[in-house]
Amino acid sequence: MYLTIAKLALAVGKSENYVRQHINRKHLDVQREGRSVLVELNEATRWARDRGLSLVLPAHASLSLEFMQDRVARMTVLTWQPENSKPINLLTLIRHRRYETLGPWAKEPDQTWSSEVVLTDHAGESDEFRLHILEAPLGYCQTLVDAILDEGTLEIAGDEISYALESLPRRHWAYRDERQDVEHSFRSPFTAYSARVIEYWSFADGPQERWLQVVKSPDTNVGSLESRLGFPIAQLPDRVGNLLVAGAEDTLRCNLSAHSEGKALILSVASVDGSELQPNAYTADIWASHSGDDVVYRKVSVTQKETVIDLQSEVDRIGFAIHQNVDGQCIDFWDAYLIMDVRIAMNIESGATLELRDRKSSNATKLNLWGSRSVIDIDPGQNSVVLDSQIRREVLERRSFEREMAARREDNFGRFGPDEFDEAVEFFIGLLYRHTYSTEPLFITDPYFMSVVPGGPERQLYLRIFEVTIGRQLQILCSPKKYQEHTNPWWSRYPTIVTNHVTVRELLTPNEQQSVLHDRYLITGDREILISNSFNGWRKDGVTFVSLPYGVYRAEAEKWWSLGLGRTLDGILVHEVK
């Protein structure tokens, strides 16, 4: 592990100039990576001991030397480079695991960056998105993280990538739940392991806004990019700009199997190095269900390599959670649905592995590396309440984005701002186009339909509505506050082929200050769409369209259209505009 000059100065309570003076006098050996000057931890400890200094490491430096040297990492960096500007970090992800879990075929990491442009000139902008990948020991990647935190930049092949990160990291877990209907912040970036995550957040708006433009573009296909990146960034726009370090929990191997012929669940647990399992070290929760009904929920103490639980019913979902007995921490979680059609014995191998070594950064640890005067203290860091609050806001915004995108994909939702009048018109006309084949009448209700500004954009919109519905009955309801005789409505000057299928009815009350109708909606043959604003307010206030499944507005529209002209209902007069 390496420390930058700034980190070392902070750790010993001295100025950066003090450290640089000792480097210049050859009292302290260093290594150079680009413009960064790095001091190896053992060398820093020796130097501090010789001068009677206490070395207090920051929270993110709490991983032991043995741990750092025992793991290999893949660092992926996705960047956005605006035209004539420096590249900006969109996401940096470091995934690390033990060397022995890679298998005998794995090559030694070459510590060389590979770079590739993955998106160019996208969404009408002359910029590019580039993916950088590095295979290296975890200790080397940690030095790059230190440099990023100190300098706010990372140099790759001559390009200086800009970062805007909070200095305080968030530490959390990412589990490998395979159910698609469960809401997670994000799942583990490893298919076979749960992971401990150290995450540095960015709250810069520019990169996130640009990435949302790319994701929302119909021409964007980010599936292969996400696969190479190892992170579902298209679904997690709140993470844009962040830096994450994800460590696989890979000391134990844990597999859960469901055998339909033997009617049993088998939980297999074994240590990677072949040693015996420690007694009372951890506990497993095992569950299975069928059609939503719980079949098994069992808590067992894991003291042997296999635990067998008999089943008295078929199951279509199985899962387990492993907890450390020392602190109750869940260190692996797996849950998945089974395919019930399979008539042979089903054997699902999850390949989960667990790290039992306690490396929680909040625990104070003392290491004597060189002698009685060599002491390293771990500072738990500052209060994270403010950071938690900001992250909570970002997560809620991301969930809103996810749900809106899902509704947009199903064509059940459209939202347009005041500056998106043309887009709102095209969306609405598209709703009408999809139902031109039907013979059922279309209903439109807008209390202020007749309030059209001469020469305003609403007239052009109305004409497009009339045009696209030719051959269908278009029945429009409105409800003006004040009665006015429309002997010659503005559309009467147009050819009858454009207007003869259109009927407009006004609902009038004796109290001219009271409107009968309040909601705006479109009803087609198979759906009803709630419209948030009247047509004459789209340009000023924007509009939102929401599809509803209930048929409430259809019943209301049919009620008013069932009345004859000149009839009243509860004192309301039905008047038809000709």
310-342 pLDDT, tens per residue?
Answer: 888 888 889 999 988 888 888 889 888 875 433
Closest CA to 459 of 432, 434, 490: 490
| Amino acid 290: pLDDT | 83
Banded pLDDT at 293 (limits 50, 70, 90): confident
pLDDT tens-digit profile of 180-221?
Answer: 666 667 889 988 889 999 999 999 988 988 888 888 776 667
Of 279, 341, 268, 280, whose CA–CA distance to 309 is shortest? 268
Query: According to the CATH classification, is domain 414-577 in 3.20.20.120?
Result: no
**Greatest mean pLDDT among 161-165, 247-251, 260-264, 362-366:** 161-165
| 202 contacts 164 by C-beta, under 8 angstroms | yes
- Helices and strands, number each (H, E), in the chain: 13, 30
| pLDDT interval class at 444 (50, 70, 90) | very high
The residues pairing with 161 across neighbouring beta strands, listed in sequence order, are 154
pLDDT at 155 (0 to 100): 92
| pLDDT score for 543 | 92
Distance in angstroms (rounded) separating the CA atoms of residues 176 and 193 = 7
Q: What pLDDT score does 33 carry? A: 65
Q: What is the distance between the alpha carbons of residues 163 and 89, in angstroms, rounded to a whole number?
A: 6
* pLDDT band per the 50, 70, 90 thresholds, residue 74: very high
Share of the chain above pLDDT 70, in %: 79
Provide the pLDDT confidence category of residue 362 given band limits of 50, 70 and 90.
Answer: very low
The angle, 0 to 180 degrees and rounded to 10, between the axes of the packed helices 41-50 and 5-12 is 40
CA nearest to 91, candidates 238, 219, 205: 238
- Residue 244 CB-density burial (10 A; 0-12 exposed, 13-18 middle, 19+ buried): buried
CATH code for the structural domain at 2-57: 1.10.10
More confident residue, 541 or 406: 541
Rounded distance between C-alpha atoms, residue 360 and residue 64, angstroms: 11
pLDDT at 277 > cutoff 80 = no
Q: 110-125 pLDDT, tens per residue?
A: 888 999 888 765 555 6
Percent above pLDDT 90 for the chain: 17
Reported as a single tens digit per residue, the pLDDT across 446-455 is 988 887 766 6
Reported pTM: 0.61
114-123, 348-357, 509-518 — which is least confidently predicted?
Answer: 348-357
Mean pLDDT in the chain?
79
Q: Hey, which bits of 110-152 come out as E strands?
A: 114-120, 128-137
CATH class of 252-353: mainly beta
Overall size of the chain counted in residues: 578
Task: Delimit the domains of the chain by residue range.
Answer: 2-57, 65-248, 252-353, 414-577
pLDDT of 114: 92
